[in-house]
Structure 1
Amino acid sequence: MFWVLVFFVVAGAVVYAISRSRGAGVAVQAEYERIRRTEPDSALAQYGPNEFEMAWKRAVDARKKKSNVDTLKALPIFIACVAGGLFVADFLMAGDEFGPILGLILGAGIGWWYLKKTVLDRLPTVREILEREAA
């Protein structure tokens, strides 16, 4: 019985992944058609459909790589925020059993806010990477 359940969970995950990848390809082609209609003189409109899809994938990979590198650069500050939250909670709520949990949540929240403001909000969009590459 357990293996039947595992089979259905794995099969569901595979079907979900295939549908997401197919939907992403359709979204890329829709973006390509929109660019060709609204901006016929742009460098991106000069690409063929397959070239545009390959350039889109390269731009997504470049954005993901930049995100990973920038996140690793900011990770020590995130860890310092979490440690600071634990320290402050231990100092202010000494002897309370929920103090460390509250400090962890508070420090992680501040650290996540910092990561979002310094890394995720400053990343170039896929379209900006594509335009830079096409120029």
Structure 2
Amino acid sequence: MGDFRPVPEVLTYLSGRWRAERAVRDLTGGDTGRFTGTVAFGPLDGGGLLHEESGDFTWRGVTRPAERTLRFLPGPGGTADVRFADGRPFHGLDLTTGRYTAVHPCAADLYRGEFTVRDADHWRTVWRVRGPAKDLELTTRYARVG
């Protein structure tokens, strides 16, 4: 698939509100889940964007509220340094080609994320999580709101 949209400045591209739909698959047990909600990328004191995700997550027939917060800090050449809410490093993000692969080791697990930009209002992430007790695939589609 070569239909990716280059993004010269990731923070400018992400700024605003997005609808998020995430499909979660447990590749070992076969369970599936779904998150639906919104992601707001708003200004962060000191520069960058505050990523605030909220919605509902359904897993094994039970729906619960879900939320997370990330910090997208300016990186060199239009890239971003993505950090957890507490400031710990998560991954880099370079969408200058419209596609990027990030890797994040977390204890015994390895997270590998592929980011792709389709157009000005649609992008996607696919995270594979592998570890001793995990084999998951999380696919999130984002569509700009407004």
TM-score band, normalised by shorter chain: under 0.3
User: Which one has a larger percent helix, Structure 1 or Structure 2?
Assistant: 1
Name the TM-score, length of structure 2 as normaliser. 0.19
User: Which one has a larger percent strand, Structure 1 or Structure 2?
Assistant: 2
Which of structures 1 and 2 has the bigger CA Rg?
Answer: 1
